[in-house]
Structure 1
Amino acid sequence: MIWRNIASNFLTLLIIILIAAAGAVAWAKRQYSQPGPSAVAACVQVAPGASLNAVSQQLSDQGVVSNGYIFRAGADYAGKSRDLKFGSYLMAPHASMEDIVRTITAGGPSTCGTEITVRIGVRENAVVLRDMNPDTGQYAEMLKYDPATQAAPEALIQATEKPDARLRVAVAEGVTSWQIVEGLKAASFMSGEIAKVPAEGSLAPDTYDVKRGEDRAALVKLMESKQAAILQAAWDGREMGLPYQTPEQALIMASIVEKETGVADERSRVASVFVNRLNQGMRLQTDPTVIYGITEGRSVLDRGLRRSELTRRTAYNTYQIDGLPPTPIANPGRAAIEATMKPETSDYLFFVADGSGGHAFARTLAEHEENVARWREIERARGEATTSPVQGE
């Protein structure tokens, strides 16, 4: 009888323990998957070779996770305890332990901490150092310098040496291939040389994450393959009846559209003007092509075009030649390429700057001349030298 009571009590106790254990497991699972305690974004840094224990302690100290033991147990249960990828990762407010484990084991470019970007622009290049403010989840610019006129600041050199710094190259729409090659020289965290300047228009403007020591020529090849894919996709989806016989001709037109307007909503309308002119056998008469014939894409022409330059016949002077120039005049972005393949339907044949950053469009020469006269008044009021009254400007 006594042994029967002992056995019954033991069984009851075991059931209670099992119920408690099941409850503890269920509670831990909820803790692992439910929103975390941090009300602000947090930058989590995983050092090279860091252990899960060290990372969990850091997360606990930062107030990002509520329980380091549950974090480690959850990662181990998911089979990810040995999959940590070093880097800096921005965690959203109230990120769960499950989300954090998924992020720091997936790897990829750092999304917070120190970021160094080489910006290649039409008029200038710059190297920019930014750091993430975890309280706002936004990057704050710490310093910026022009590599063409200034030596690299010591703070930037030190930041570049951080193993988890995010390194990037940002290429603006409308830069030439020569400008890109020259700009990549400012990326001191890269290596290697580029044997020759790639074909004009063949490089995709975008922001590229790179690794320390990555070969410059390899990045150029990536830009080429990306631009080729963008061009082919746009060509495959183009409208029928356009005056381009090949994707290469469309790329030439896209580069002209890119250089003519920086207003996103205008690209397809500008493209329609040039399409209409080609369809009617009119010359394009656009300044950017003439400028490219003068500079060969190696500099910016900081003055108006001279009458002698407009009347001189060159392969790129669309006042003097019929149709398109022989090559693109810059590297157009995706939006300009797509606008060229699907231009707006219009009967516009002319456009000129309107003083607001955009353009005034006209159907007839008389309308265009009125728009040009208004633009001349704006230039005079600003004290600017007047530019050539081109048909496609």
Structure 2
Amino acid sequence: MKKIFIILIIFTAVISALSVSFIQYMISPVGGDKEKVYFEIKQGEGAYSIANKLELQGLIRNSKIFVIFAKYLKYDRKLLSGYYEIDRSMSMIDIMKYLNSGKKQAMVKLTIAEGKNIYEIGAYLEEQEFTTKKEFLEVCHDKEILQQYNIPADSVEGYIFPSTYYIIKGNSVRTLVIYMIDSLYKKFPDLQDRAQKIGYNIHEILTMASIVEKEMGPLDDPKLISSVYYNRLKIDKRLEADPTTIYAMTLTKGDYIEKPNLRYSDLRMEHPYNTYKNKGLPPGPICSSGAKAIEAALNPADTDYIFFVADGTGKHAFSVTYEEHVKNIDK
């Protein structure tokens, strides 16, 4: 009897030791490296759902054990919504504490510069390791987004508003693109009404703004630049804007041109965006315009100017006649 009792004690001890080892294993880090995983807890999401997602993403070994420990440690109702950056070297308990903090959301700062086209923006986002240029461009051509915003083109070119954005890392590219387009309409909530007042639609205004954005110098009054192009439209004169030809070359290449060097043959190329060959506005914007350029497109200066040329001081010299323009060029 004494022998059986000893065996039972040993057996119980072994089972206890195995149980402890099992529990320690189950709550230990899944991986030993610092590989980052971006994890989202949605508003109102419960412990069971969170645990299942953690297991699916390979951050914990067992969702049921997570829930048991969360309840025991009273973390089950303190798992705060947000977007977290978790690495696989964290234990299950570490993850619980981290999700309970709610303070370390993974954010990335993205600055979209004025005057950049979607090819340049895509390259920038790839450099920032937010997405690939290929994926960004695919979203920029997404038909559902184009329909959602009534964009009469095959891309969202010109509708991405230049600004500094703080984005939750791991968010989809689609979410980012929609957010940046919404920022345009948030900045100009009456864009459609103001465009209609001067006889244009939103697409035409953003097209004009993009040309102004690319042409204006750092010290220019963009409204003067805008007036020149509107005056040319009124008299049915070709815009002859170099940036539109460069964009035509960009579309032909399928990528941005880092240091464009226009030749005479480029100005003669047959392309809808080449305003040296075609009258009127090009089919769409050629870049993302800042607030000043959009405002200039909506409210051009009242002038008779038809020509302008850079004067080397960060501004342009404007003229009404070609003779005056030639004199300005000579200067």
User: Does 1:250 find its partner at 2:181?
Assistant: no
| Structure with more helix by fraction | 2
> Does 1:266 pair with 2:224?
no
**Residue 188 (str. 1) matches residue 124 (str. 2):** no
Amino acid at match of 2:129: S
Deviation at 1:187, TM superposition (A): 2.9
Measured after TM superposition, the shift of residue 229 of structure 1 is 4.2
Name the aligned partner's letter for residue 312 of structure 1.
M
Do the aligned partners of residues 262 and 232 (structure 1) sit closer, same or farther apart at CA in structure 2, a change above 3 Å counting? farther
**What TM-score do the two structures reach when normalised by structure 2?**
0.58
Cα displacement string for residues 311-348 of structure 1 (whole angstroms, at most 9, x for unaligned residues): 22321111110101111111111221111000111111
The amino acid of 1:168's aligned partner reads K
Partner of residue 286 from structure 2, selected from 304, 325, 329: 329
Which of 313, 323, 338 aligns to 2:270? It is: 313
> What CA distance in whole angstroms lies between the structure 2 residues aligned with 1:191 and 1:361?
42
**1:7-156 maps to which residues of 2 (within 5 A)?**
none
- Identical counterparts, % of pairs: 38
User: By how many angstroms is 1:233 displaced?
Assistant: 2.0
- Aligned-pair CA distance for 1:246: 1.5
Q: Write out per-residue CA displacement over residues 134-172 of structure 1, whole angstroms, 9 at most, x where no aligned residue.
A: xxxxxxxxxxxxxxxxxxxxxxxxxxxx94786310000
What letter is aligned with 1:275? Answer: Y
Opposite residue 329 of structure 1, the aligned amino acid is: I
Residue 261 of structure 1 and its aligned partner are, at CA, apart by 1.1
Q: Is the 8 A contact 1:276 1:348 kept in 2?
A: yes
Equivalent AA in structure 1 for residue 270 of structure 2: R
**Any conservation in 1 of the 2:309–2:317 contact (CA below 8 Å)?**
yes
Alignment counterpart, residue 118 of structure 2, candidates 149, 170, 177: 177
More strand by share: 1
Distance 1:180 1:189 in 2: 11
Q: Secondary structure at the match of 1:237?
A: helix
Q: CA RMSD in A?
A: 3.2
Residue 339 of structure 1: aligned partner? 296
Q: Which residue of 1 aligns with 2:246?
A: 291
Partner Cα separation in structure 2 for residue 320 and residue 346 of structure 1: 25
Deviation per CA, 1:197-225: give whole Å up to 9, x if none: 34211211100012232333211110122
Question: Which of 1 and 2 has higher RCO (CA within 8 Å, sep 6+)?
Answer: 2
In structure 2, stretches of 5+ residues that fail to align are 1-79, 83-102, 141-154
One-letter code aligned to 2:139: K
1:335-375 Cα offsets, whole Å, 9 max, x none, are 2111100011111110011011211111110010111122x
Q: How many residues align?
A: 217
Cα distance in 2 between the residues matched to 1:280 and 1:316: 19
Contact residue 271 and residue 340 of structure 1 kept, 8 A: yes
Q: Which runs of 5+ in 1 are unaligned?
A: 1-85, 87-107, 109-161, 375-393
> Does the aligned pair in 2 maintain the 1:239–1:342 contact within 8 Å?
no
C-alpha offsets along residues 49-107 of structure 1, whole Å, 9 cap, x if unaligned?
Answer: xxxxxxxxxxxxxxxxxxxxxxxxxxxxxxxxxxxxx9xxxxxxxxxxxxxxxxxxxxx
Taking structure 1 as the reference length, what is the TM-score of the superposition? 0.50
In 1, the alpha carbon distance for the partners of 2:308 and 2:189 equals 29
Q: SS state of the match for residue 158, structure 2?
A: coil
Which residue pairs with 1:199 in the alignment? Answer: 156
Q: Which amino acid aligns with 1:196?
A: V
CA contact (8 A) 1:231 1:251 kept: no
